[in-house]
């Protein structure tokens, strides 16, 4: 069965600090990997996705994620966070038509 | 453009009462449709998904059921609500013939069972 594990439930950073959110998944077949973000008061929206090719994918707002197949990981990174990055971040895995989400990481960026 | 409508936005129901949450998608045909429940600290739990009319896949055995009477309509139901059914319910859709490329989410329904 698919499963997704996010390492941190809450992260607090100061502006300009670097960010890395961990995500590990478990699935027996070919997967597509995603990071979604939910800003306060807004709908969930896609941040970036990996289907194939270059394992380092870039998304919106300066975010990137690296797929490491041997570690079953898809960690999200941003070199320098901004106050506006305060949000909840969800890692997700799709196998076929099923998309499974992790528990989410709440990021708070102090101005 | 495609839009997804989910209602009601909030709902307060007594234990043992029935439930019907509706979700409709506009601007696309044959979408894959999903019901998730979001709980603090637990992320989004996939409840049901459907890849076509009348086709329902259930992911978590529980007190809920889903139906897809029309191509772009997805309904979440219960005959008798439990306290544990309280939560934030999200409808989502995607397109794709072999896999999901991206999910689009509705605005959600906050259900409180008292």
Cβ atoms A98, A64 nearer than 8 A = no
Sequence-ordered list of residues with C-beta below 8 angstroms from that of B46, at least 6 positions apart, any chain: A98, A99, A100, A101, B34, B35, B36, B59, B60
Q: Is the pLDDT of residue B110 over 80?
A: yes
Q: What is the pLDDT of residue B42?
A: 76
Q: What is the pLDDT of residue B101?
A: 75
Residues of B in Cβ contact (< 8 Å) with A46: 102-103
DSSP three-state, residue A70: helix
Q: What is the pLDDT of residue A28?
A: 75
Indicate the residue of A4, A43, A97 with minimum beta-carbon distance to B100.
Answer: A97
Residues of B in Cβ contact (< 8 Å) with A95: 99
Q: For chain B, list residues whose CB is within 8 angstroms of any CB belonging to chain A.
A: 32, 34, 36, 41-46, 49, 51, 57, 59, 90, 94, 96, 98-103, 105-107
Contact across the interface for A44 and B103, Cβ inside 8 Å: yes
Confidence of residue A10 (pLDDT cuts 50, 70, 90): very high
Give the tens place of pLDDT for each residue, B28-49: 888 999 999 998 777 899 999 9
Tell me the C-alpha to C-alpha distance, in Å, between residue A55 and each of A19, A64, A66, A67, B100: 18, 10, 6, 5, 19
Give the tens place of pLDDT for each residue, A27-48: 877 889 999 999 998 989 999 9
Q: Is the pLDDT of residue B1 over 90?
A: no
Indicate the residue of B42, B43, B99 with minimum beta-carbon distance to A97.
Answer: B99
Give the tens place of pLDDT for each residue, A52-104: 899 999 999 999 999 999 999 999 999 999 999 999 999 999 988 889 999 99
Q: Does A8 touch chain B (CB under 8 A)?
A: no
């Amino acid at each position: 069965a698919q499963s997704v594990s996010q390492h941190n439930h809450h992260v607090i950073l100061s502006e300009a600090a670097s960010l890395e959110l961990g995500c590990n998944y478990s699935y027996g077949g070919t997967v597509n990997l995603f990071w979604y973000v939910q800003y306060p008061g807004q709908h969930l929206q896609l941040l970036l996705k990996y289907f194939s090719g270059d394992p380092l994918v870039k998304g919106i707002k300066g975010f990137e994620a690296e797929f490491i197949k041997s570690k079953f990981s898809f960690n999200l990174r941003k070199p320098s966070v901004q106050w506006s990055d305060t949000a909840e971040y969800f890692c997700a895995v799709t196998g076929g038509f099923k998309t499974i989400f992790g528990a989410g990481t709440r990021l708070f960026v102090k101005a | 453009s495609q839009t997804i409508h989910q209602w009601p936005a909030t709902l307060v129901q007594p234990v043992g009462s029935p439930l019907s949450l509706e979700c409709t998608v506009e601007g696309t045909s044959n979408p894959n449709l999903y019901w998730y429940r979001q709980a603090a600290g637990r992320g989004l739990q996939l409840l049901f998904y459907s890849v076509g009319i009348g086709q329902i896949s259930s992911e978590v055995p529980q007190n809920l059921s889903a139906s897809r009477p029309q191509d772009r309509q997805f309904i979440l139901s219960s005959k008798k609500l439990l306290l544990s059914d309280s939560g934030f319910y999200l409808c989502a859709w995607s397109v794709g013939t072999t896999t999901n490329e991206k999910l689009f989410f509705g605005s959600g329904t906050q259900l409180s069972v008292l």
